[in-house]
Structure 1
Amino acid sequence: MTTVIADDDEKTETVINELAWGEALYDHFRGEPLQAITRLTARLEQGSIQVHKDQADLLLAGIYLDYGMPNLAAEKLASINIESLSPRLSSKMYLANARIFYQQQDYSAAELALTKVQTEQLSGRDVNLASFISAQIFFSTGRYAEAAEVLTNVSDASNLQLYANYNHGLSLLRLTDEQSQTKAIGLLKQVAQQAVYDQEQYALADQAKLALAMHALDQSDFTTVTNQLSDIRLDGLVSKDALLLLGWNYAKQEDFDTALVYWQALADDTDVLSPVVQEAWLAVPYAWQKQGNRAKALQGYQFALEIQADTQQKLADLKNKLLWQEFIATSSANDLQDYPAFYRELTADPVFHELLTQWQELEQLKTHLELQSRRIPVLELSVKENESRYLAKTEFIKTQLANISLTDFQTQVDDFKAQLEQQKQQEVPLAILPKELASIWQRVSRSESNLNALQDANHGNLEDLQNKSDKLYILKGVAKWQIHRQRPSYEWQAIKAQRDLQKAHADLVTQHELLNQQIVAMRPVLQMDDQLLQQMVAKNNQMLAEINILQEQISESMAAIYEQIISRRVVALDNLAEQANLAIARLTYELATEEYRRD
């Protein structure tokens, strides 16, 4: 959880004064920390975040801590001037420093940083986190009473509360006074009897039951041991431990027949790298020996030696294969699936797990950077293509502007104005009449001309021609009356059209001038973008190279831990062989002595 900036359990009004900072927060809160790291790093280097620079460094440190990279987080916190922070942010910074020192196993520095945290400035979740870190420091330094006292103040609805109660119970159980023991049993029972909803809670409940059973066995409370262990899941993480402890529970009651049932089941288990299974190899012949069957016990110890030698060879094979390398790629080694106990020990090792997490997060970051690297050439081509299209479009606009003749348009405006003045002087302003009315007038005028021509030529019936002429005269008069009645409206519409034409001409002149100015002031070719792209490529390659170096260092550290775990298992198997040999020697001597006495 990144607790250096955001509070999960309270709403805090925040003023964001820079867009780049707001974008980074958006990436962080929508669950994309890698994108947030990329954006924050880029914006900080570009200087785009000034007002919120300290908060940005603090957020980066928190994300690095979540990914188990305390060194990078420390570099970010070192650049922050704590005097410039508000009391709330300074407390969060000290809490982040405590997390860094704890992950670096510098417990004294972590404890000192926690003393500077003002808990009244933190949210409830941050206060719980500070208490939990303090308790872990006390656990790591063997101060169990102080750890128990700190954990009494932890209150959280999540699994953190369960861990606190479990660890609190274990720390009290290590104390010898009756009050601490009673309180420890109460806390462990609370964890063991909780309503579980996920695998993490199941595992905690089983471990609490195992702890209660071990304590009850020390007190010879055999019924409690049986009740607690029988309630542990058969497929749980501590199921084998429960079987072994059940065997010792009955062995302590001298019921070796029942003990053998559990121990034999363990001894036959195929997980030969499990310390519990290995202990069962010796427990089975021990039970036979207690039953008085020395010959069978001798065979059992000899079998233990044989399987111990085979297991030593398996460990040598695992060391030669260096299966931790497969963890890097897949978080699981196929060859280790037959040895779940060894697999769990390897993955449960806090340093190995931290290194593995760091390697995987670096791998994700590397994949992200490689994806961005593949996008950069495409982006470069897009920039060049856009620049080419921009230049071509600019030339096209220049050509079109050159082809526009404002003089011709002005001439047309002047001609329209002159024609309008001429039409005003005409008896019938034919050019400004509506199309239908102008057509009627033209037809009447043509008909009049045709009749006059016929009359002048004495062609046809003159009386008939005169009647038609009279009718046409009346029709012409009606048309002229209609025209003159609407003439002011027609002239007004023509004048308005002239004004609109003049305005359109003025607008065209303005737009023409503006476009010419913009073309003249055209931006230069995007040389700066090319430089920026090259900087991006160089920075990307540099980060990839640094990631490869970090991954190589992490791989070496993981190899060392892997070999240490195998070495511890080899030593344990050597001790097992030593105990088996001693038992064989003792039984051989006893059998020889017994036979000698019989002879």
Structure 2
Amino acid sequence: MLHRLLIRILLIACITFGYVCGYSARADNQSVHHVEDLAYGVALFDFFQQKYFSAITDLLVAEHYQRIKSDENNPSLLLGGLYLSYDLHQQSAKTFNKLLGNKSGGMPITIQDQARFLLGKNHYNDGLFSLAEEQFVEIKDGLQLESEDEKLFLLNAIFLKNDDFFQAQKTLEYFSSESVWKGYAKFNVASRLIQHPVEDNVEKGFDLLAELAIDDSLDYEKRILKDKANLALAYVSLRDGDSEKSIEYFNEVRLKGIETNKALLGIGWARYRENEFKEAVIPWMHLASSQTESDLAVQEAFISIPYAFEKMELKDQALHHYVLALDSYKFQLDETQQLVKFIKSSAFIEQLNQGSLGKEITSAVSIIKNLDPLLTRYLLPLLSSNDYQYKVKSYLEVVHLKYMLNHWQNNIPALQMILSEKRKTYKNKLSKTMDDDSLNRIKVLINKRRKLADQIKKIELSEESLRLLTAEEAEYLKLLDKGDSHLGQLKTQDEETVEIKNKVRLLKGRMVWEVDTDYPVRIWAVRKQLKQLNVATDEMSDTMSSLESAWKTAPSDFSGFEVRIANKEAHIKQLKKKIDIAIVSYESELRAIALEDLRLHRNQIKLYHDRALYAKARLYDSLMERE
């Protein structure tokens, strides 16, 4: 439907918006998988919490920022399955095709087969049965047993749609022996075969139903299938006039099951056809006294009881039960009329919303338990059906999308405030930085380093070792030169003076010799220190360049963020309008489906009511004639 397509588009848009503001199909593995990337672990956590929208957002954000590196193809497999759970078949198929098209790295068979299985389900849900069959046939041995049986079930359904009954029956041989999927497939094949014009196929269909009818498994779903098989065989036997055989099948249906009322009604009609009217009344009376008066099988029992009493010539009792039936029908027509008004009111939708209250996880139980008892009394089969639950869940998903959009919209002022504060902080720091003398000192230091490098280069060229003296050595040499000069200026050059003068010159010569000898070591040390100084000055230069770049680009960056926030705010408003349209469409559809189901129920009750009213009048006239 149009609104379903619309909500798929809205979901994609909402997930994409999650980049800035911030299935249920499962990827099976035959061995334990150790999660190494935190981003993938967060997505898995949300997935196992059944927060599928959050899991999709986690995976897309992680993919956008390349945060998942070591978990190979598992994230893509999970993402495709999540798309499939939201009926985003185009995105799901794209993800799986991309995964299967990646030939590098030797993808594990478990990943390949699971991707093909989910892609096949994707095509099946889109009605592309030939493409689905191609994917299922390509699967090897990498699926877990449950998924393997589900694959066979879907293949079986495809063969039935193509009227390929031979292949449909052939697939039944490949299911695991205890698989419930086999039971469903067998029931579907049998249902199609018994309607086939070829007698051999009809017989095969009855044989399959008979196999299901004698299954003694304690599994809940298999017991339901057993009841349905016995019920189908019973009504077919009743249709063919074999009442005794139909009773045998009816008696195999459990007394406490979803098919019990239909079985009790059928037993009564089987006895009625055998003119065993007294025995026919017993199961009908049991139905009439049950707590499920809204069940149409019970309503038919109400009008069937007086029919049997008329056949037994118990006309007074028959008239009494016609009156009881009319009272019941009148009561139900009044109640269902109230229910029609309730469904048309806003309270009906409000009760559906109570099950979610903005939560991402909503179960069928949480929805039904909040509904008006009148709804569950007359519409429980509809409300608990897969189709209606699917539509309600889809509606609540849309409501959750609106909740998320409101949440993101409420965050817009916070983003604007953060941007404003960042801009203020930048301006304050910029003014302080520009006024700081340290910037000028950095430039002076860089110039000094350049001069020092030039000096060292000159020393290397001239090999003037004395220019590599330490401050202490230079002071010492200066002191010796000064002493030598003073000694040379003395007028009297006695023996002691000459000796001191020679010692000073000896010390000076020794010192120069040592410096000349250590020149390679000293020049190497100076080069090393210069290299370290180069690193420090380069870092300072980079810092200066970064600051200068920030001074130039920060204003435009702020403006860019401002534009992006404004665009996202406008985008949210547009999405909210579309979401509102989708919500109204879903609400109308949910109401229409409930009203249509209720209309059919009321029409059947009206039919019973008219028949009972006519029979009562007819019987009353006959009693008056007798008197």
Instruction: Assess same fold via TM > 0.5.
Output: yes
Q: CA deviation at 1:356?
A: 2.1
Matches within 5 A, 1:159-308: 159-172=180-193, 177-190=202-215, 193-196=216-219, 203-204=224-225, 206-208=227-229, 210-211=231-232, 214=235, 218=242, 220-221=244-245, 224-225=248-249, 227-229=251-253, 231-233=254-256, 236-248=257-269, 259-308=280-329
Q: Provide the residue aligned with 2:600 in structure 1.
A: 568
1:524 pairs with one of 543, 550, 554: 554
State the distance in 1 between where 2:44 and 2:544 align.
43
State the distance in 2 between where 1:132 and 1:369 align.
39
Larger Rg: 1
Change over 3 Å in CA distance of 1:80–1:241 after alignment to 2: closer
Please tell me the root mean square deviation across aligned C-alpha atoms, in Å. Answer: 5.2
1:73 pairs with one of 81, 89, 114: 89
* Partner amino acid, structure 1, of 2:85: D
Question: Does structure 1 residue 577 correspond to structure 2 residue 597?
Answer: no
Q: CA deviation at 1:304?
A: 1.2
- C-alpha contact 2:192 2:205 (8 A) present in aligned 1: no
Unaligned runs of 5+ in 2: 1-22, 68-73, 104-111, 356-366, 453-466, 481-513
Sequence identity (%):
18
Residue aligned with 2:54, SS: helix
* Partner amino acid, structure 2, of 1:185: A
Q: Residues 332-364 of structure 1, C-alpha deviation per residue, up to 9 Å, x if partnerless?
A: 386653464632332255654443232122122
Q: CA deviation at 1:180?
A: 3.5
TM-score by length of 1: 0.65
Q: CA deviation at 1:62?
A: 5.9
Q: CA deviation at 1:315?
A: 1.6
Q: CA deviation at 1:295?
A: 0.8
Q: CA deviation at 1:297?
A: 0.4
Q: CA deviation at 1:510?
A: 4.4
State the distance in 1 between where 2:583 and 2:445 align.
75
Q: Provide the residue aligned with 1:515 in structure 2.
A: 543
Q: CA deviation at 1:224?
A: 3.7
Matches within 5 A, 1:393-408: 393=429, 396=432, 399=436, 401-402=438-439, 404=441
Change over 3 Å in CA distance of 1:241–1:338 after alignment to 2: farther
- C-alpha contact 2:292 2:298 (8 A) present in aligned 1: yes
Q: Provide the residue aligned with 2:349 in structure 1.
A: 325
State the distance in 1 between where 2:273 and 2:432 align.
99
Change over 3 Å in CA distance of 1:407–1:60 after alignment to 2: closer
Q: CA deviation at 1:114?
A: 4.7
Unaligned runs of 5+ in 1: 14-18, 49-54, 102-109, 428-487
State the distance in 1 between where 2:427 and 2:250 align.
86
State the distance in 2 between where 1:147 and 1:319 align.
47
State the distance in 1 between where 2:205 and 2:118 align.
34
Task: Report the more deviating stretch, 150-159 or 571-580.
Answer: 150-159
Q: Residues 373-404 of structure 1, C-alpha deviation per residue, up to 9 Å, x if partnerless?
A: 22333234334434544554555555262374
State the distance in 1 between where 2:529 and 2:63 align.
57
| Count of residue pairs the alignment pairs up | 494
Change over 3 Å in CA distance of 1:137–1:354 after alignment to 2: farther
Change over 3 Å in CA distance of 1:140–1:184 after alignment to 2: same
TM-score by length of 2: 0.62
Question: Does structure 1 residue 97 correspond to structure 2 residue 123?
Answer: yes
State the distance in 1 between where 2:175 and 2:420 align.
59
Q: Provide the residue aligned with 1:370 in structure 2.
A: 406
Q: CA deviation at 1:151?
A: 5.6
- C-alpha contact 1:144 1:172 (8 A) present in aligned 2: no
Question: Does structure 1 residue 544 correspond to structure 2 residue 576?
Answer: yes
- C-alpha contact 1:288 1:297 (8 A) present in aligned 2: yes
State the distance in 1 between where 2:430 and 2:151 align.
63
Q: Residues 247-294 of structure 1, C-alpha deviation per residue, up to 9 Å, x if partnerless?
A: 456656666556544423422345432102211211322333344311
- C-alpha contact 1:136 1:147 (8 A) present in aligned 2: no
Q: Residues 109-133 of structure 1, C-alpha deviation per residue, up to 9 Å, x if partnerless?
A: x455556556125765777556544
* Partner amino acid, structure 1, of 2:123: N
Question: Does structure 1 residue 421 correspond to structure 2 residue 442?
Answer: no
Q: Residues 129-175 of structure 1, C-alpha deviation per residue, up to 9 Å, x if partnerless?
A: 5654465578789x695795376266267643342233344445556
Q: CA deviation at 1:561?
A: 1.8
- C-alpha contact 2:230 2:250 (8 A) present in aligned 1: no
